[in-house]
Amino acid sequence: MRLNQNILLLGKKVVLVPYTSLHVPRYHEWMKSEELQRLTASEPLTLEQEYAMQRSWREDADKCTFIVMDAEKWQAQPGTTEESCMAGDVNLFLTDLGDPSLGEIEVMIAEPDCRGKGFGTEAVLMMMSYGGDAQTDDE
């Protein structure tokens, strides 16, 4: 979804940034994990397929994806790469394009050292707020 292509959401524990081609290599590495494949009901993709998936998700009108960043790492020092701060992703799927108030949110905290810190909870709450605000803006 292009709606969030220039949006950055800053929380206390996480920062949500749009999923861009910059993030694909790290995301691809995560998705090589059999555990993550099982937990997300995903099939392994080639790197080129992962780039194609990122592009298609950006263009889909019913999907909104952010990469979840560790806010402490992200804010620690200028010049820190986004890739080194990536913790996971959070997605909003609109289940009825005729009613934008209906949707599904999924979160994946892929980095094991980022689990159990409340990143997923904060990312979901931020996505719920963002989705509600985006719907209000469209009315």
pLDDT at 139 over 80: no
Domain that holds residue 44: 9-133
The predicted pLDDT at position 57 comes to 86
- Residue 2 in any domain: the answer is no
| Domains in the chain, number | 1
Structure tokens at 45: 């993709």
The predicted pLDDT at position 14 comes to 98
In tens, the pLDDT along 34-69 reads 999 999 999 999 999 999 999 998 888 888 899 999
Calculate the alpha carbon distances from 53 to 28, 31, 57, 65, 93 in Å. 11, 13, 6, 12, 15
The predicted pLDDT at position 3 comes to 65
In tens, the pLDDT along 93-113 reads 888 877 777 889 999 999 999
| Residue 95, domain CATH | 3.40.630.30
The predicted pLDDT at position 5 comes to 73
The alpha carbon dihedral of 35, 40, 44, 49 has a sign of negative
- Residue 44 in any domain: the answer is yes
- Residue 4 in any domain: the answer is no
Please report, rounded to a whole number, the percentage of residues in the chain having pLDDT higher than 70.
Answer: 91
Residues 6 or more apart in contact with residue 122 via CB below 8 angstroms:
11, 12, 13, 14
